[in-house]
Copies of this chain bind each other. A is one copy, B any other.
Amino acid sequence: MSEKIKSPNCEICAFRSVLFNSLGIDGLGKMNTCKDQFRFKKGEVVCHEGDPIESIIYVHKGLIKLHKRISENQSQIISIARPFNFVGLLSVFTKTEFFYSITAIEDSSVCFIKKDCVLGEIETNGKFALDIIRRMSRITDDILESKFALSKKNLRGRIAHILLDFSENIYKTNEFELPVSRREIAELIDMRTENVIRIFSEFRKDGIIKINGHMIEIINPEMLQRVSSAG
């Protein structure tokens, strides 16, 4: 089960300046009183589709996925959020219930800040309001841009794109452990599991990547980039 951890004071949190640089000491103190931090092990569910939205959620450490059931045995991954990312922000101010589930795909540490607390701060602190607006904008811009880019690519291009994304934006190294199964990759970039596996194999045969289970090493990033752009 998820484990509540002694909530570090926001004042000393390494992400403070990034997350709440518009809050004064007063505001930070207030946030602290309506904040909880939990650890989730890989695979643990942070929120279920349909749960009431009570908090704004952000990723302190780890990696979590936003996903949605679309039928009995199919689901769809909306996005993968990494540290510094808010997730609960998506629809938090327009909907009362999550339309997606949130699940840890790596051991993660997640902060919950009560929605009312944030709403109150927005109403009284214009700089903070603007900060939240910018943050929201960036989240949805990112999701939209990546979905638009992917929708124009063929299967090889999509796999190349997602591998480069993990390598460059998340792990910042050419060798990393995929946090998701082939099936989840399929759900993220809108293709079939068999084809994800097949194209991984192709890339291996082409000498673009090395595969060892979930460990991936990109040995020819330039070619991967070309495949991503061409597809």
Contacts and interface: CB of A to CB of B under 8 A. Distances in A.
Complex copy number for this chain:
2
Contacts of A151: 147, 151, 190
A122 B132 contact: no
B127 A123 contact: yes
Interface stretch (A101-109, A137-145, A161-169, A198-206): A137-145
Interface of A: 68, 70, 76, 78, 90-95, 99, 119, 122-127, 129-130, 132-134, 136-138, 140-141, 143-145, 147-148, 151-152, 190
A132 B99 CA distance: 21
A68 to B, nearest CB: 8
The dominant DSSP class at the A interface is: helix
Contacts of A124: 126
Given A126-B123, A126-B124, A138 B70 contact: no
B148 A78 contact: yes
Contact of A147 (B99, B125, B147, B152): B147
A144 B144 contact: yes
A112 B78 CA distance: 33
B130 A133 contact: no
Contacts of A126: 122-126, 129
Contacts of A144: 78, 140, 143-144, 147
A129 B128 CA distance: 10
A93 B129 contact: no
From A123, A132, A145, residue with most partner B Cβ within 10 Å: A123
